[in-house]
Structure 1
C-alpha cells in the first residue's frame, strides 16, 4: 500500500479546497481489502482524516482520497507593531 500526502498551498484564497490537506492511499490489486479498510480507519480515527473519494480502477487498483482541515493560527508570541 502506498501513501502520498498532498499539501495545500500556502496562499490563502476564497476557494474552499485551500483549507484542506489531502492524503492519497493507493492499494495494489493483490492486497487485501480488509487491510486497506483497517488502514483507512486508523487514519480517520487517529489522524482526523475523512474519506473524500474512492475509486476502483480497471486493473484492480483502488485509490482513496482523504482530507483533513488545516488550522491556520496567528502567532501570539510577538505582537504586531
Structure 2
C-alpha cells in the first residue's frame, strides 16, 4: 500500500457586506488537534475567525472562515 498525501483546499475568498469569507476543506484522516492548530494559525496570522464548521461522515471537515473586510491587507488563508 502506498500512502497518498492528502491536502486541504481553499476556495475563493468572497466579500459579502462587512466580511470576507474563505471556504476551506480539511481532508479525512486529519486529527482534531491538527485541524484546530491549522485554524488557530489562520486566526493568528490572517485575522480569520471560524464562521462555520461541518464534519461529514467520511471525516472531511468543511470550514468557512471569515474576517472583517477592513483587514483585507492581511494575507489570505494558506495550508
Report the TM-score when normalising by structure 1: 0.67
Runs of at least 5 residues in structure 1 that lack an aligned partner in the other structure = 9-16, 72-81
Q: Which has the higher contact order (CA 8 A, sep 6+)?
A: 2
Shift of 1:69: 0.6
Structure 1 runs, 4 residues or longer, greater than 6 Å off: none
Partner of 2:39 in structure 1?
40
- How many residue pairs get aligned? The number is 64
1:70 & 1:32 partners in 2: Cα distance? 31
Alignment root-mean-square deviation, CA: 1.8
TM-score by length of 2: 0.68
Rg larger in 1 or in 2?
Answer: 1
